[in-house]
Amino acid sequence: MFTKILIANRGEIACRVIATAHKMGIQTVAVYSEADKEARHVQLADEAVLLGPAPSRESYLVADKIIAAAKATGAQAIHPGYGFLSENAEFSKRCEEEGIAFIGPRHFSIAAMGDKIESKKLAGAAGVNCIPGVNHAIETAEKAVEIAKGIGYPVMIKASAGGGGKGLRVAFNDKEALEGFTSCRNEARNSFGDDRVFIEKFVEEPRHIEIQVLGDSHGNVIYLNERECSIQRRHQKVIEEAPSPFISDATRKAMGEQAVQLAKAVKYQSAGTVEFVVGKDQSFYFLEMNTRLQVEHPVTEAITGLDLVELMIRVAAGEKLPLEQKDVQRNGWAIECRINAEDPFRNFLPSTGRLVRFQTPKQTMFQGNTAKLYGVRVDTGVQDGGEIPMFYDSMIAKLIVHGKDRNDAIAKMREALNGFVIRGISSNIPFQAALLAHPRFVSGDFNTGFIAEQYSHGFRAEDVPHEDHDFLAALAAFVRRKSRERAAGLSGQLPGYDVQVGQDYAVVELGKAGNNRYVPVHVDEFAGKHGEAQITVNSKTYAIASNSRLNDIRIEGTCNGKPFTAQIERGTLKNPLALQVQHNGTRIQALVMSPRMAELHQLMPYKAPPDLSRFVLSPMPGLLVDVAVSVGQKVQAGERVAVIEAMKMENVLFAAQDGVVKKVVAAKGESLTVDQMIVEFE
């Protein structure tokens, strides 16, 4: 067994590998870029080596620097995590040549499966179901349209070296095929240095279901059940679960056996995933094989009780798999939510900056420990006060729950999201909460088009309806009442000027454009019971009890005997006197005041924000990679104006209305801040 391994990655996956290595008594070496010198993975590892500047092409993607770091520190093996060099056959081969064990599959297996065109031919030869399509690289956009017509729309245009939603487009007509081909090629060239593109039939109402496989160097391969990954936004997974609520035992067995056939055909060693697209009739087709550890591996760990990272390390050290197919378990139900640094209310734009507060819900399951299950686990590479850089992926944490059944897992996840505190940047937690409460998700009736169909207009605050909205007003009144009680208890108050607690309040829920909601609230304190009160809102009574303190950002307690967790933030950018209350994904900003003050507040005029329609502003921090207009140019609404790159994704800005360009303020190649002006119209 190795005594020291180097983790050629960053963020949560680096921390995940470190946890198992330390459990096994193996020392760890972290590598980091200049942007990550204070990162959590650097602090957790036994040693750390600086690779270079922040951009990954100058640090995490430089194989020479990583191998030099391994040699300098005496690491006998390298774990690549996912992304970066994890599926780079040359890197795997290079490690082998340098006498360093690669904790992953052999280079020939990566090469065979890394090329999506060749992998389809191999899969077909191994007896795996494949989708109709053209498995050779297409040279021109015109040829792509011709082929797409021949297969029949809709078609999927994919970069051969693509992954993570990059270099992938779905086309429903000739125009989309033409544009999609060009975009795929450009994205693939920039992201992977390989611009080969192919086309295949797009299965309608598809589900994305993948099989986890595990092989060793002794020819043994097993499958560890499936993961349901159909909840996706722009081909990026959002929620994953195991098992799938859709497939039958017979389909599971057939998919698993085909996945094993394919793994054996390429002499697969280590953990890997065979992805399938599954039609509504449970027909399934091979999509691709990911020759690495997947982001969503914790849900498989929860239902099988296996530590996949440990098994990868043991296989890389030459050990046999410790179990056979008949030993693989499937206990309970696990769900994972990807917590991303993005603003769901601003079309999911990346959100970078300082994590002012970062508090995870209470964990009862831990990385590398499969003895403690049926609880909550958080895999993250960030911490309180850390920086979210714009150079890397937007995922900052994974929240995993394990329940007795699917409904239990959903309930646990909703409660865990309530207790996940992220301040300073925006996160997609409200969106995750909305998905978990959606009737179609709860019933298991969804496919990969679910988010695009249900949120075609984007995601808005009203898309997160609270099952009992008045509870939020009651909670705001409860917190305000506690603060008044504390103020009344301060000594040294002048007679006649002391703070009066009062029982009647008005909760003013601040709405858009001055459309506020005024709710009268009555508060009765239970005599002699500190931290308890009975609150009446719209004839409904809420008996709330909580020992949380006023400066706590999480409030935990019971309401009418049932436990709850909510978040309270005092003072917001819009109103320093407001309370922000967040529960089950719904967020309100409220002022709690006396009834007389509420009357006067209603008379206050609404001050409209300034009209910014003449300007194109940067909606996020990022790099301005293109300005598509020039001074004096007539621009129509919906026309492309600029392209900003942030968190490995290109974001196109379009004109909101017709106009003539007066000024181009920002130059190509400039680093932009939020709301920085790019273009001004006349």
DSSP string, 587-607: EEEEEEE-HHHHHHHHTSPP-
Residues 546, 409: one domain?
no
Residue 119 falls within a domain, yes or no? no
For position 85, which CATH number holds?
Answer: 3.40.50.20
Residues 443, 474: one domain?
no
Residues 190, 217: one domain?
no
Residues 194, 233: one domain?
no
Where in the sequence is the domain holding 551, given as residue range(s)?
469-487+501-602
Round to whole Å and give the CA distance between 583 and 324: 44
* Residue in this structure with the two tokens 């009446």, named with its chain if needed: 536
For position 540, which CATH number holds?
Answer: 3.30.700.30
Catalytic residue, candidates 176, 288, 532, 650: 288
Residues 219, 197: one domain?
no
Q: End of a domain among 60, 84, 103?
A: 103
Count the Cβ atoms, other than its own, within 10 Å of residue 55.
15
Q: How far apart are the first and last CA of the chain?
A: 69
pLDDT of residue 495: 84
Residue 117 falls within a domain, yes or no? no
Starting at the edge strand found earlier in the chain, the sheet holding 155-163 runs 133-134, 197-201, 155-163, 166-171
Q: Tell me how far CA of residue 310 lies from CA of 28, 318, 370, in angstroms.
A: 14, 13, 11
Residue 86 falls within a domain, yes or no? yes
Q: Which of 106, 387, 148 is nearest to 270 (CA)?
A: 106
Q: Enter the tokens of residue 4.
A: 């020291």
Residues 256, 393: one domain?
yes
* Residue in this structure with the two tokens 């019933």, named with its chain if needed: 443
Task: Please say whether the dihedral angle defined by the alpha carbons of residues 549, 551, 557 and 560, taken in this order, is positive or negative.
Answer: positive
For position 254, which CATH number holds?
Answer: 3.30.470.20
For position 168, which CATH number holds?
Answer: 3.30.1490.20
Residues 477, 457: one domain?
no
Is 179 among the residues known to form the active site?
Answer: no
Q: Tell me how far CA of residue 318 lies from CA of 18, 154, 215, 224, 663, in angstroms.
A: 20, 46, 11, 20, 64
Residues 451, 389: one domain?
yes
Residue 128 falls within a domain, yes or no? no
Q: Which of 243, 241, 371, 374 is nearest to 305 (CA)?
A: 371
The answer for residues whose C-beta is within 8 angstroms of residue 425's C-beta and 6 or more apart is 341, 351, 352, 353, 354, 355, 388
Residues 193, 215: one domain?
no
Q: Which of 398, 399, 423, 401 is nearest to 410 (CA)?
A: 401
For position 627, which CATH number holds?
Answer: 2.40.50.100
- The residue count of the chain comes to 682
Residue 553 falls within a domain, yes or no? yes
The radius of gyration computed from the CA coordinates of the chain, to the nearest angstrom, equals 27
pLDDT of residue 164: 65
Residue 327 falls within a domain, yes or no? yes
Residues 242, 196: one domain?
no
pLDDT of residue 527: 53
Q: Tell me how far CA of residue 369 lies from CA of 92, 298, 470, in angstroms.
A: 28, 11, 41
Residue 676 falls within a domain, yes or no? yes
Q: Tell me how far CA of residue 505 lies from CA of 374, 519, 596, 599, 658, in angstroms.
A: 42, 8, 9, 11, 48
Residue 608 falls within a domain, yes or no? no
Q: Which of 217, 85, 1 is nearest to 94 (CA)?
A: 85
Phi, psi of 89 (to 5 degrees): -60, -35
Round to whole Å and give the CA distance between 278 and 290: 17
Residues 196, 311: one domain?
no
The answer for residues whose C-beta is within 8 angstroms of residue 84's C-beta and 6 or more apart is 8, 9, 56, 60, 61
Q: End of a domain among 602, 628, 646?
A: 602
Residues 346, 393: one domain?
yes
Q: Residues in the chain with pLDDT < 70?
A: 163-165, 526-529, 573
The pLDDT mean for the chain works out to 92
- Report whether the peptide linkage leading into residue 619 is cis, meaning its omega lies within 30 degrees of zero: no
Number of domains in the chain: 5
